[in-house]
Amino acid sequence: MSEAEINRKEFAVLADPSLSDLYNESKEENGATIFIPNWNHRPYLPRSVRSAFLAIKCLEEAGYSGELLVIDDASRDGSQKFLRTVKALYGDARLETVFLERNLGLPRLRNLAMRMSRYRHVCMLDADNELAADNLPLFLQSIVQTGAALAHGLLLDKREGRMTGIRSDDVASMRLTAGNYIDAFALVDAKKLLRIGGYLADPRLPHEDWEMVLHLIAEEEQVLFVPAVMGFYHLTPGSMYAETAQVKGLRPRSAAPEVKTLLRRMFAQTGTREWDTIRVGRIYHPAVGYID
């Protein structure tokens, strides 16, 4: 992208609060947009950006294409400077950056990314996390072949360089009405998610990712578990996880009682579905097909 184009986009964001100038209505199908939302995560951006570039290379090797979209949510830590430097250094890289003047918050940022994305499928990569680059083609293949709305895989927890746990490692079932175990770090079909209203930006519900999975299930959209590693979830002091933990409780499954009550009011009114072990998600691998 030329300097003029960058300026035009930045100007558009700064000047037009509706942001609609940035929307890309016609999505390409043969690739993926990797989206990194950033708010004051400058120290972690090199790692997530690097993994995204590697993943784009892997997509290209597998016959797909890809882009990296980073939207900075009005950071104050100089993230913008870092991102401009990356853009200058990697002129050929498929990197789109948007710098917001006003903080929108994560759900609105995710919705903006889905509206802006060049590709129909968007990988939600938090700024402090890292993609398992080799595996993104596997997830893209899976979501394309099945027409699922969301494909998730295993995330390996990393603390101080050591792997300490696994998350997002189970297929969607109605247990999700009792607690969330599918992280936002997933590949989504932007068209489908936008069609059903996108991520919910409701201050009463800080778990927009949890609400989205339940919403997809309620809308009878397919939630796909691909039993491979999608990426690494870094648990570092001050990282997005730590913030999330502070705001939302240690893990989403230990969400505040009022949040649980609200989600149950929305998706489990009878109060029995959390005990319903019926799967609503599917398990898929491109080499095998549906496994369940």
Partner 1 sequence: MYSSPELHAMSREDLSGTTLLVVSPGQCIEASGDVPAFLSKVTSAKKRVLASVGPAGSVWYTRRLRKGITFDAVLDLGFASQSDKHSTVSDVPYFFVFNGPTRDEEPLAKVPTRVQDRSIPWVLAGPKNDRNRHLLAELFEHGVDTRGVCLLQGAMSSKATAGTLLGSDGLLRVLSKARFCLWGADRDIAYYESFRFIDALPAGAVPCKIDPELAAEEPGIPGVYHTVPDFQAEVRDKGYSAMYRRAMEFYTAGGRLADGLSRALRLV
Q: Considering the complex, what minimum distance in angstroms separates the CB of residue 229 from partner 1?
A: 6
Q: Which of 175, 192, 234, 282 binds partner 1 (CB under 8 A)?
A: 175
The span of 39-47, 141-149, 170-178, 195-203 binding partner 1 (CB under 8 A) equals 170-178
By the 8 A CB rule, do 277 and 174 touch?
yes
Nearer to partner 1, 88 or 166 (CB): 166
Nearest to 151 by CA among 12, 276, 47, 284: 284
Residue 36 tokens read as 């990194």
Q: Does 178 bind partner 1 (CB under 8 A)?
A: yes
Q: Which of 170, 189, 209, 211 binds partner 1 (CB under 8 A)?
A: 170
Nearest to 149 by CA among 109, 197, 187: 187
Cα–Cα dist 73/76, whole Å: 9
The span of 34-42, 116-124, 130-138, 195-203 binding partner 1 (CB under 8 A) equals 130-138
Torsion on CA atoms 100, 105, 108, 111, rounded to nearest 10? 80
Encode 5-30: b = buried (16+ Cβ within 10 Å), e = exposed.
ebeebbeebeeeeebeebeeeebbee
The span of 4-12, 91-99, 162-170, 198-206 binding partner 1 (CB under 8 A) equals 162-170
| Residues 81-120: x where in contact with partner 1 by CB under 8 A, - otherwise, as a string | ----------------------------------------
Q: Does 223 bind partner 1 (CB under 8 A)?
A: no
Q: Considering the complex, what minimum distance in angstroms separates the CB of residue 279 from partner 1?
A: 6
10 Å Cβ neighbour count for 238? 12
Residue 216 tokens read as 């997809």
Positions that interact with partner 1 (CB under 8 A):
132, 134-135, 138, 154, 156, 162-166, 169-171, 173, 175, 178, 227-229, 275, 277, 279, 283, 285, 287-289, 291-292
